[in-house]
A = this chain, B = another copy of it.
Amino acid sequence: MYHHVKKLMYTVKVGDPDPRFGNMLLEQFGGANGELAAAMQYSVQGLNTDDPGLKDMLMDIGTEELSHLEVIGTLARMHLKPMKKDRDAAEADPLIAICGGGGVNLYNSMGNAWTADYLKITGQPEVDLRSNIAAEARAKIVYERLIDFCDDPGSKDALQFLMTREITHMKVFMTALDSLGKKPLEIGKLKPTEGLVDQYFNDSTGEGDGAKDMTGPWNEGGDWERVDNPAFEPGKMKVDGD
């Protein structure tokens, strides 16, 4: 059961409204990496899991993200408000201006309606936690870019608050993933095919335009076996294992 308290998690102060910046802020309200996506991804994962520890943690963070949604929505609305009257402001986002009367809606900065296609939910803990870590990393960098494009000190403070919490959540998800006690490459139950799993397929080659074949720890050293041009030498691929 949910309860709402009529107080923002971070009290938002805005100097001069900047409608085009308000439009950008919608990325974190109704966008792919935004607060609704986070709230729904974690809350639905929490609803699905039977593990009481994970469930509690996912509901804690899912609920916090709803509070963030409220903060970013309030901030965006303050910047978008001139759209209601001002034709020039309205041109920054006619959908918000004309259909929404200058109020926010669950769209991103280009007017795309939020879709659950943004969510990554599999019901497998070691998978979902990785999807959550990645989601937090994306949200962090989006907040950083919004701060970089922002001139208003009050808005920056609110964004700094929200950005910080993404790192907190990332830390939570990483710790929870560690606590599962699985090996780094252990996903589900079925084992990968030996031999094949250690082959790196060098499918992109050539020296044109100064480009050359690169190596790094991701394709040499350790257990790696590199297979060059498998499309032309298919026999080298251990398709059925050792």
> Is the CB–CB distance between A138 and B149 below 8 Å?
no
> Is the CB–CB distance between A211 and B163 below 8 Å?
no
Give per-residue flags for A87-127: 1 if the beta carbon is below 8 A from chain B beta carbons, else 0: 10011111101111111111111111111111111111011
Number of copies: 6
Q: Which of B91, B120, B167 contacts A197 (CB 8 A)?
A: B167
> CA–CA, A99 to B142, complex, Å?
6
Question: Which residues A197-242 have CB closer than 8 A to chain B?
Answer: 197-209, 211-219, 222, 229-232, 234, 237, 239-240
> Do A1 and B234 form a contact, CB below 8 Å, given A10-B239, A73-B47, A117-B118?
yes
Q: Which of B130, B147, B197, B213 contacts A164 (CB 8 A)?
A: B197
> CA–CA, A120 to B163, complex, Å?
19
> Is the CB–CB distance between A168 and B189 below 8 Å?
no
> CA–CA, A44 to B230, complex, Å?
22
> Is the CB–CB distance between A56 and B111 below 8 Å?
no
> CA–CA, A89 to B188, complex, Å?
21
- Which residues does chain B contribute within 8 Å of A10, judged by CB atoms? 239
- Which residues does chain B contribute within 8 Å of A103, judged by CB atoms? 44-45, 47-49, 121, 123
> Is the CB–CB distance between B110 and A2 below 8 Å?
no
- Which residues does chain B contribute within 8 Å of A49, judged by CB atoms? 103
> Do A116 and B124 form a contact, CB below 8 Å, given A1-B231, A32-B99, A170-B185?
no
- Which residues does chain B contribute within 8 Å of A2, judged by CB atoms? 2-5, 63-64, 66-67, 70, 203, 231
Q: Which of B64, B185, B206 contacts A167 (CB 8 A)?
A: B185
Q: How large is the interface on A (under 10, 10 to 19, 20 to 34, 35 or more residues)?
A: 35 or more
> Is the CB–CB distance between B204 and A56 below 8 Å?
yes
> CA–CA, A32 to B216, complex, Å?
30
Q: Which of B1, B104, B117, B130 contacts A47 (CB 8 A)?
A: B104
> Is the CB–CB distance between A211 and B73 below 8 Å?
no
Q: Which of B5, B27, B36, B90 contacts A204 (CB 8 A)?
A: B5
Give me 9 other A-B pairs in contact (C-beta within 8 A), A53-B214, A85-B148 excluded.
Answer: A10-B239, A24-B90, A101-B122, A103-B123, A113-B117, A130-B130, A141-B188, A163-B190, A171-B197
